[in-house]
Structure 1
Amino acid sequence: MRRLFHPSTDRRTAPQWSVEEIAEEYAYPPLGEGSGGAGSWLRGNMVASLDGAVHHQGRSQPLSCKADMRIFGVLRALADVVVVGAQTVRQEGYRPAKPRSGFAGRRAALGQAPVPAIAVVSAGLELDFTQPLFTEPVVPTLLVTGRGAPEGRVARARRAGAEVVFAGEGAAADPARVPAALAAHGLRRQLTEGGPKLLGEFAGAGVLDELCLSIAPRIVAGPAPRIMNGPLLPDPDEFTLEGVLEEGGFLFARYRRARAGTDRAE
């Protein structure tokens, strides 16, 4: 057992990490190590309260802080694509990613687009295509669904400028096939911001390689779900701790799936 933090530590003298240092801490591993196939790596990023709530009155912002938002921004700046569920897009009012000047050279050197694409996982494709996510993206927004999705809605999405990616033969996307489907479009460094249902589906499919969890020193009680909401796994999935940062009482933990790279999806 090791002591990682003690309240007697004078946190006022601790240096604030620069964006560059955070980027090095969260740099993606070699992409061949991921469990989703096609050289992808799927990382989750979520925030939770001390009592396990994933939001307060439907939004995650009340659980966040400036340090959390710095890490949030860096994780996006490192990714090829941000994967999110349709319900979260509606609740959080998702907007397209913005270019970050400090990462322009880094992204260009890796052959990345100026910003990560936003990929919305949706079966019904019932989205408001007049929102900025579809009208103002630097790179086209993607919709990830199954080949059995309603043809009329697929056509409507394409007319709105969205790129439709099929990951499965049914009406909905198969979570086990999403990482490889995105990687086939050159989007291999993957970041999912949930919500809980989508994150639970990725975990259940065995394709979640890493989880970045921000723990807020706040209690909200109420009916909010945990960061994952899905079927019970047959056996608990083991993750190993890769790092912990602290600022203002918030903890920023990074866990890597212990069996990443061994349970590949077909």
Structure 2
Amino acid sequence: MTARMLRLYPGKPEEIALPGTYLAHRLHERGSAAAPFVYASFVGSLDGRIALRDPATGESRLPAGLVSGNDFRLFLELQAQADCLVTHGGYLRDLAAGRLDDVLQVGTQEATRELAQWRADNGLPPQPAVVVASASLEFSMPDSPARHGQRVLIATGGGAPPDRVARWRAAGYEVLIAGTGMSVEGGPLVRELGNMGFRSLYLLTGPRMLDTMVRDRRLSRLYLTTAHRLLGGESFHSMLSGPELGDAGRLRLCALHYDASAPDGTGQFFAHFEPQPA
């Protein structure tokens, strides 16, 4: 049975099919090499948690109460529209340790073949490129991008250890310097990727990358799923953790949908926002 949800805004409330809702946004057509379309997505609780952290080990986890098949379907639709997926070294470390699943490919499972076909029908390569943003450059590269023919780039700051930069280049990877310090900065990264011809960039990253993209006014759209539950917890991650953003953080609601069935029957909102012009 096809999942349904209620569109609350814009327009009159209307029940619609959930599959295809985000594909209809056609994000791959909204950017250009000169001005790539940069979008991010997060799922959080009503009290603003996107992950909980184990105080003893420092490891983070996505609580089961935030996970739903409907949210994951929309995540896959966002992924399918990307020229380039931007991830980070922490994700690859968690992937190597078996704490997270590999989500760097589109349409590789039988249930998602339609998304691979959607890319082909819309003139996109079979798989998006992958950019790994990392200050330390200490991570293991999974073998899945090579198996699926994906272009892989590594982005770091100008203060990164030269020996580690050299090590990755010697292994055959393109290393981009995108920032003056240790960490990757949003403006330089988007500029570098645009120069390579990428037009739609999906941020599969965390608070630090969102922060720099917003501060550099490079974020084009933010997708936010809000699960209708309170998580609590004394050690947690939220969407942002840096200094106040000021006017750069002003966003405008573009659309709001209500899914009454998931997760666990509590319901969730699907919303997306765009920055207000300066």
What TM-score results when the alignment is normalised by the length of structure 2?
A: 0.77
Comparing 208-217 with 146-155, which one deviates more in the overlay? 146-155
Tell me the equivalent position of 1:82.
85
Q: Secondary structure at the match of 1:143?
A: strand
Q: Distance in 1 between matches of 2:79 and 2:158?
A: 28
Tell me the equivalent position of 2:153.
142
Tell me the equivalent position of 2:61.
59
Q: Secondary structure at the match of 1:56?
A: strand
Q: Distance in 2 between matches of 1:48 and 1:195?
A: 12
Tell me the equivalent position of 1:23.
23
Match of 1:4 among 8, 24, 34: 8
Identity among equivalent positions (%) equals 28
Kindly tell me the number of residue pairs found equivalent between the two proteins: 246
Q: Secondary structure at the match of 1:4?
A: strand
Match of 1:50 among 40, 46, 61: 46
| 2:132–2:155 CA contact under 8 A, matched in 1 | yes
Aligned-partner residue type, residue 35 of structure 2: G
Aligned-partner residue type, residue 136 of structure 2: G
Comparing 215-224 with 131-140, which one deviates more in the overlay? 131-140
Is 1:242 matched with 2:242? no
| 2:152–2:174 CA contact under 8 A, matched in 1 | yes
1:1-266 matched pairs, under 5 angstroms? 4=8, 14=15, 16-18=17-19, 20-25=20-25, 27-28=27-28, 30-31=30-31, 38-57=34-53, 58-60=60-62, 62=64, 63-91=66-94, 93=100, 95=102, 97-100=104-107, 101-108=113-120, 110-129=122-141, 131-132=142-143, 136-222=147-233, 223-235=235-247, 237-247=249-259, 248=261, 249-259=267-277
Comparing 96-105 with 219-228, which one deviates more in the overlay? 96-105
What value does the CA root-mean-square deviation take over the aligned residues?
2.8
Comparing 45-54 with 138-147, which one deviates more in the overlay? 138-147
Tell me the equivalent position of 2:56.
none
Aligned-partner residue type, residue 116 of structure 1: P
- Higher strand residue share: 2
Q: Deviations over 1:67-92 (max 9, x none)?
A: 10001101000011111232243346
Q: Secondary structure at the match of 1:83?
A: strand
Q: CA deviation at 1:189?
A: 0.1
| 2:90–2:139 CA contact under 8 A, matched in 1 | no
Unaligned runs of at least 5 residues, structure 1: none
Unaligned runs of at least 5 residues, structure 2: 1-6, 54-59, 108-112, 262-266
